[in-house]
Amino acid sequence: MEKLLEVLESKMAPLAIKLDGNRYITAIKDGFFGVMSLLIIGSIFLLLANLPISGYPEFMASLLGENWATYFTAPYYVTMNVMTLYVIVAMARSLARTYQLDSVSAITSVLVAFLLLTPFVKFEDGSSGIPVVSLSSSGLFLGMITAILAVEIVRFVDKKGWKIKMPDSVPENVSRSFSALIPALFVIIVFNVIRIAFSFTSFGTVQTFIYHYLQIPLTNLGSTLPATLLITVFEALLWAFGIHGSNVVGGVMHPIWLALTADNAAAYAAGDTIPNIINYQFYSNFMKIGGFGSTFGLAILLLIAAKSSRYKALGKLAIGPGIFNINEPITFGLPIVLNPIMIIPFIITPLVMAVVAYFAMATGLVPFTNGANIPWTTPPIIAGFLLSGWKGALLNIVQIIISMAIYYPFFKSVDRMALKQEQEENAA
């Protein structure tokens, strides 16, 4: 096992470090982390409009009238339904800071580029507008590609020095506006040419092309159980070497999983059938109970069953953060990192959690997650209830028991060794 770990570390660690340090992946992560607060707020209002409590709709209707749900869904519509705009703004800011560019210029260039490629619709009265669906998760991949390409154009023009320089006596805000003029012009020209070129194809728009030939295949792949299990193994191995696997994997998978989440939220808000089992909430709240590795069961074992004073103390320290899905005290304190014994259940447990949750939902025992972007620190059981009702809460309880059973023999082994060492030290 130790030889295997050495081989994997020598091969995977350099790759993971490169991925984690990649400026585009970093920008994508910053984009989603930057808007997560808005998505959580929107999801809270969506839950308030659809609480899974018997008699709740009737009570609210008697209190606020028949259209009471619209009072709560409006914040959801202006957060989740236009999420792409917020993501690309945060991405543009992140990339601009990496390149030491003016962030305002980068953000405005990205927004105008995205809107150029976004299809407009015309109404019978002659007015026109942008469909909200184009700004939602449907436009997410187009937005991310646009953000990267637009900032790269701004960077290229800036490096070439193709900008209007004003005298030092000119106020800074005026000088900045003129400096941004030529980069923005290049962005508009390039993206307008792209828009015109696609208008002559059978796709009509870039968004249609990217959505059907990139976003749909990737989301379909990301929503499958085998792909999820493979990604989980990769993430677990990174954690096993002390690399933040969730950061590395998140930069690639968050756009896919959040697009699936948005589809569920839209269906839930409309009262339609929820389409996706696997999404960000499935990954975060039914696979990572207590943090990656589903270590909440291990935290409970440390608290109630440890014999060594070392692990008794660790159990008291780890149980509090574990309730909120923070497991660094266990990951680095037990440790699990570079520990040939504990790596085995650390890899196995989230895979079992995924399979159990997937088949519980696929067979209809537990409802699909409703698309609410609850904070990742939401405690288990409460998270299950908010996402899938009381059956989701019950599933979390079952998963915690299963995780305790998986970790138990490995925990007993390291606890027994620690106790023996302590007894030898005391005797000496």
Q: 4-59 pLDDT, tens per residue?
A: 556 555 665 666 667 667 888 888 888 888 888 888 888 888 888 887 777 888 88
Q: Are β-strands 121-122 and 128-129 bridged in parallel, bridged antiparallel, or unpaired?
A: antiparallel
Q: How many CB atoms lie within 10 A of CB 393?
A: 18
Give the chain's residues under pLDDT 70: 1-17, 19-20, 166-175
Q: List all residues 6 or more positions away from 380 whose beta carbon is below 8 Å from its beta carbon.
A: 285, 289, 290, 296, 323, 325, 396, 399, 400
> Quick one: pLDDT at residue 80?
85
Comparing CA positions, the residue from 414, 247, 266, 281 lying closest to residue 343 is 414
Residue pair 414/336 in contact by the 8 Å Cβ criterion: no
CA 268-272-273 angle, 5° bins: 90
If DSSP states are collapsed to H, E and C, what string results for the chain? Answer: CHHHHHHHHHHHHHHHHHHHHCHHHHHHHHHHHHHHHHHHHHHHHHHHHCCCCCCHHHHHHHHHCCCCCHHHHHHHHCCHHHHHHHHHHHHHHHHHHHHCCCHHHHHHHHHHHHHHHCCCEECCCCCEECCHHHHCHHHHHHHHHHHHHHHHHHHHHHHHCCCCCCCCCCCHHHHHHHHCHHHHHHHHHHHHHHHHHHHCCCCCCHHHHHHHHHHHHHHHHHCCHHHHHHHHHHHHHHHHCCCCHHHHHHHHHHHHHHHHHHHHHHHHHHCCCCCCCCCHHHHHHCCCCCCCCCCHHHHHHHHHHCCCHHHHHHHHHHHHHHHCCCCHHHHHHCCCCCCHHHHHHHHHHHHHHHHHHHHHHHCCCCCCCCCCCCCCCCCCCHHHHHHHHHHHHHHHHHHHHHHHHHHHHHHHHHHHHHHHHHHHHHHC
> Quick one: pLDDT at residue 287?
94
**Terminal CA-CA length for the chain:** 32
pTM attached to this predicted model: 0.80
Dihedral sign for Cα 403, 406, 411, 416, please. Answer: positive
> Quick one: pLDDT at residue 6?
61
> Quick one: pLDDT at residue 250?
77
Q: How many CB atoms lie within 10 A of CB 246?
A: 19
Q: List all residues 6 or more positions away from 28 whose beta carbon is below 8 Å from its beta carbon.
A: 91, 144, 251, 252, 254, 255
Dihedral sign for Cα 248, 249, 252, 253, please. Answer: negative
Domain boundaries, the chain: 79-222, 230-427
> Quick one: pLDDT at residue 406?
96
